[in-house]
């Protein structure tokens, strides 16, 4: 995974996937697609701007999420809570931006930027988390 230069309060990762942008989009924007590799369940979230819901991990709890921006098939931005069972409004949350670009010769270049961390420790926690989760995405796309 290649890193990119962004704000020091952000995580910036780019990966190349052998799946089409359409398949990657479903894995990111469709609640069932997202639940197949990221949280254990997605509750109440629709793939539309302004939608809110929860990402649920049996081991970690429920995290509030809101879709901020969608450019279908190309860009998805969501905001999510840093702590379980915490509302987004007035709470500590970060923004995750996904950008999909069709790779020459097939496949997808996927860029993830998560920003808004208050501490370097929080950012480092999620660096490791995204390394693991992006690996899960690669594995998921290899099987569907």
Question: What is the architecture, at CATH level 2, of domain 2-143?
Answer: 2-Layer Sandwich (3.30)
Judged by phi (left if over 0) then psi (alpha if -120 to 50, else beta), residue 86 lies in: beta
pLDDT at 98 over 50: yes
- Cβ atoms of 130 and 112 within 8 Å: the answer is yes
pLDDT score, position 9: 84
pLDDT at 3 over 60: no
pLDDT at 144 over 80: no
Report the SS3 class of residue 141.
helix
Hey, how many other C-beta atoms are within 10 angstroms of the C-beta on 119?
A: 10
Instruction: Please give the DSSP secondary-structure letter assigned to residue 7.
Output: -
Residue spans per domain, the chain: 2-143
pLDDT at 138 over 90: yes
Q: pLDDT digit string (tens) for 18-75?
A: 999 999 999 999 999 999 999 999 999 999 999 999 999 999 999 999 999 999 999 9
Distances (CA, A) of 110 to 12, 52, 64, 67: 11, 23, 24, 18
Round to whole Å and give the CA distance between 117 and 123.
6
Structure tokens belonging to residue 75: 């860009």
pLDDT at 2 over 60: no
């Amino acid at each position: 995974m290649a890193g990119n230069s962004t704000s020091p309060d952000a995580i910036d990762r780019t990966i190349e996937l052998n799946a089409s942008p359409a398949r990657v989009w479903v894995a990111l924007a469709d609640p069932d697609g997202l639940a197949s590799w990221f949280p254990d369940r997605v509750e109440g979230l629709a793939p539309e701007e302004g939608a809110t819901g929860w990402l649920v991990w049996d081991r970690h709890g429920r995290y509030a999420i809101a879709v901020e921006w969608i450019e279908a098939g190309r860009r998805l931005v969501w905001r999510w809570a840093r702590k379980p069972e915490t509302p987004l409004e007035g709470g500590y949350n970060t923004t995750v931006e996904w950008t999909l670009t069709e790779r020459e010769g097939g496949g997808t270049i996927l860029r993830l930027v998560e920003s808004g961390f208050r501490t370097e420790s929080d950012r480092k926690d999620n660096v490791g988390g995204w390394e693991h989760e992006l690996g899960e995405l690669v594995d998921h796309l290899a099987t569907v």
